[in-house]
Structure 1
Amino acid sequence: MAVKLKERSILNFSKYCMICAGIWRLPLPTQSISRIKLYGFYSAFVQVYFVTILISMGVQFALVLTDQNADKSPEKLFKQLSDIIPLVVVEFASILCQGDKVKQIVSYIIAEEEDIARSRDRDILQSYNKQARFCKITNTAIFTFTLGTGSCMILENFWRQLKIAKYNAEQNASLAKPFPFELYCYKLNKQEHAMFLLLVNDVSIIINVFLIISTKLIFISCIIFVPSVLKKLQIEFVKMASYNKDVFATLRSLIRKHLRTIEFVKELNDSIKYLILMEYLLNSLNVAAVSIQFITYDRKMLASPIFYFSFLFVQTFVLGWSANELQVQSSALAEALYNSPWYEQNKKVKKALLTMLIRCQRPLTLTIGPFDAMTTQSALMIMKASYSYVTLMMNNYN
């Protein structure tokens, strides 16, 4: 039975999320000039709106810190920090996604997937389908948890607004209505313009959700894609004698593919290593801040922290596992060379295989900034650091 590709591209999910977020900079899946122009206006609106909200939140946080009469309780400050920190990382990632390096990375993946689609090798197609299925599952999980976080924030805020309005009406009080994002409103009265601020917050949450989804998924998808190329190379090295009578010509072609893969991983690492560093430094603080919410928040308001914690947990371990898999599969190329019929080849082929074998002894890695390689151990370190932060914050809170 012939095997077909079940997923034409690992990037499909993240591509359409980036289009929804207004940060897709490669050709759109439409030829309509009017739609392309409309998308340009939409993209500009999203970018300006997001930066404006981020600046407003930063100004408000600074005012709280400098105001002696403001509420500076640990849970309130960390709540604001847990809102601002991810937005800073997302803004950095969104700028990165629109740069030339990411365009080149995506173009490389598209070209490689076209090569895989042309293959008639059953093992290659099955290997790619398995990797694409894993990517789809992780993308769906991250999409679901992020969208769930945003939806719960909107619903919880609406419920909170109704509850406070009812209390003010019954008690003839003027209790302030809180919002998900603490924005700087200048001279705007929050009570009189509550509906307007509620709308601004809801739009901010929606834009934030799609920017988070798109910026996370594109890089995770790129990392997940690399092992599929390495697995394809492993299969081709084992079967190289069956592809062509001129084994040396086949081997030389495969070595070129391997060198291109090495260069691709280097470019990918150069593009995202500082983003990964920010993620690993800040995720531990985010996990700690969310954990504090579990302890100090009203139980009826725990839906969004639960979704957000699930998102952070899945993202952290998917990144660690995928980077670890990259190392494993790059090292496995040496085993694939050994399993090939090298003993049947001439001296010229054996010499090339030996050079290739030496090159495979150094596994491909993605690094956390300029520091160590990213692995599953890195993900565990985040959780350990988060536990330490929670312990420290709870001691100060008590």
Structure 2
Amino acid sequence: MKVKAGDNIFRITKFQMLCTGNWPLTKHWPMRWQFYYKLYSYFANFVMYSSLPGSVTFFLVTLLVEKNSEKAVDLLSYMVITSLVNIKTFICNSKKMADLIEQAIQRGNDVSEVYTIVAKSYMKYITALNTFGFAVGAFLYIEYTVEAEMHIFKHMKAQNSSEDESDFLIHWHPFDTSNHFGLACYIEMLRGIYISMNNCLTQSVINTIMIHSAALFKVLNFNFQNFHYNNMGNQTVANQYKASKRLKKYIREHQAIIRYIEKFNKCIQYVLLLEYIVSSLMVASVLIQILKADRRLFDFVFAFILIAQLLVLCCNANEIPLQSINIALGIYESHWYRYDKEIQKMVHIIIMRAMKPVSLTIGPFGPLTAKTGLERLKLAYSFMSIMPGETM
């Protein structure tokens, strides 16, 4: 059976959401499978969301009770990443986001063959993005979980080691970790897996919907550019009635796409704001570590990942206003001048609306574009340059 375009463009995102227990579109499954998947979803979400209070509590205890500021600084970056992933996962798991994903898949399955062609052109890019997302998740898992497990293994081999076992943990646990150290390690390993998987998931959902929205504008641009033909395969010019009817249909599609992106923007604008703030601080802190620390290879890789993830997000968001403005060029290149004032007036209104770009916003701080990403890197450099005691 041939896979439809909408299902195809979201297939990797669907796989990731299934693995993390967050796939919302299970209403067509058999009742038994819905029940089993709901149980797994409860388990996966409990493991995921329990990481936030665990990491925050452990950071506060280390800083305020144990007065170990050096270890608290090491825990800070993990706590920030855990908090951000938890918030993004919660939003991606909301009813609003589920409706947006369902609408996107349905629209992709229902639209014309042109969307199928456009979706295919984007699929390699989406696959590359998700491959990069998997690499980021694997890197985070190796850094915060595997590396800790290796230290624990070395500690257990060195019988005379003076280090406390709790020094290797990164979460607070509601039991005595000295007596149940193996259980604590297992819980942290499990949390590390789900944090990494959910980080991949949230990036995949947001980026895929962005690309899907840009693809819809690209298809609509093609339709507006050729509205005067009877059909796409036949280059005969349509009469006044057919051209007007088709143009009104495309105007309704244009309005529907704009409403869809506005809903998406309301759903994720504060996630983008958090990304905007946190990424600047994280990039700055990693660059400072590159200047000071001994783990240069790790810090260089981590800095590259943070910068690449930031620029990918901004470039994908930037594609939406670019494609929305191109609607004006597409309709202008059609044979609108062959028709009467009714169609000419509609074309004029379409051009005026298209010249106001549709974009995603960073909370109250304006649109998210490629320029915004570069400004964020400049901001990170500013943070790094004003940090006291740093060599610049």
Paired residues of 1:180 and 1:201 also in contact (CA < 8 A): no
1:183 aligns with: 171
Which stretch shows the higher mean deviation, 374-383 or 258-267? Answer: 374-383
Matched ranges for 1:71-110 at <5 A: 71-73=68-70, 76-110=71-105
Quote the Cα distance in structure 2 between the aligned partners of 1:163 and 1:307. 25
Residue 43 of structure 1 corresponds to which residue in structure 2? 41
Other-structure match for 1:291: 287
Most deviating of 220-229 and 241-250:
241-250
Secondary structure (helix, strand or coil) at the match of 2:50 reads: helix
CA RMSD of aligned residues (A): 2.6
Which residue identity is paired with 1:267? K
Residue 122 of structure 2 is aligned to residue 131 of structure 1: yes
- Once the 2 structures are TM-superposed, how far is the Cα of residue 259 of structure 1 from its aligned partner? 0.5
- 2:57 corresponds to 1:70: no
What corresponds to 1:268 in structure 2?
264
- Following the alignment from structure 1 to structure 2, what is the Cα–Cα distance between the partners of residues 21 and 221? 17
**TM-score, normalised relative to structure 2:** 0.88
Q: Does 1:222 align with 2:219?
A: no
Q: How far has the Cα of 1:158 moved from its partner?
A: 2.7
Among candidates 136, 140, 147, match of residue 145 of structure 1: 136
Q: Distance in 1 between matches of 2:86 and 2:313?
A: 19
- In the alignment, which residue of structure 2 is the partner of 1:374? 368
- Call closer, same or farther: CA 1:243–1:84 in 2, change over 3 Å: farther
Q: Which moved more, 1:49-58 or 1:350-359?
A: 49-58
Q: Structure 1 pair 266/247, CA: closer, same or farther in 2 (3 Å)?
A: same
Query: 1:385 aligned to 376, 379, 392, which one?
Result: 379
Letter of the structure 2 residue corresponding to residue 101 of structure 1: K
Q: Deviation digits for residues 121-158 of structure 1, max 9, x if unmatched? A: 5xx54333222322221122112221232135433223
Conserved in 2, the CA contact under 8 Å of 1:148 and 1:307?
no
Tell me which residue corresponds to 1:345. Answer: 339
- Structure 1 residue ranges without an equivalent (≥5): none
Secondary structure of 1:63's partner? helix
Q: Secondary structure at the match of 2:170?
A: coil
TM-aligned CA distance change 1:173 to 1:144, over 3 Å: closer
Cα pair distance change 1:51/1:258, threshold 3 Å? same
Determine the C-alpha separation between the residues in 2 that align with 1:181 and 1:161: 9
Deviations 1:163-209 (A, max 9, x none): 33344x2xx3431236665222356143x433222211111100111
Distance 1:34 1:298 in 2: 53
- Going from structure 1 to structure 2, the CA distance change for 1:297 and 1:34 (only over 3 Å counts) comes to farther
Q: Does 1:199 align with 2:194?
A: no
Deviation at 1:273, TM superposition (A): 0.5
Equivalent residue number for residue 19 of structure 1: 18
- Structure with the greater relative contact order (CA < 8 A, sep ≥ 6): 1 or 2? 1
Summarize deviations over 1:327-353 as a string: whole Å, max 9, x none: 111111111111111111222111111
Query: Could you give the per-residue CA deviations for residues 360-396 of structure 1, whole angstroms, max 9, x where no partner exists?
Result: 1101011000221111121122222223333444627
Unaligned runs of 5+ in 2: 232-237
Cα distance in structure 2, aligned partners of 1:247 and 1:311: 49
Counting aligned pairs with the same residue, the percent is 23
Q: How much has 1:302 moved relative to structure 2?
A: 5.2
2:240 is the counterpart of 1:253:
no
Q: Give the counterpart letter for 1:279 in structure 2.
A: E
In 2, Cα distance between equivalents of 1:258 and 1:8? 22
- The offset of 1:272, in angstroms, is 0.6
- The residue type equivalent to 2:56 in the other structure is G
State how far apart, in whole Å, the 2-side matches of 1:6 and 1:152 are: 37
Which secondary structure state, in structure 1, belongs to the residue aligned with residue 23 of structure 2? coil
Contact 1:161–1:177 at 8 Å: present in 2 too? yes
What secondary structure sits across from 1:91 in the alignment?
A: helix
The alpha carbon displacement at 1:294 in A equals 4.0
Cα pair 1:284 1:385 within 8 Å, conserved? yes
Q: 1:151 to 1:182 in 2, by over 3 A?
A: closer
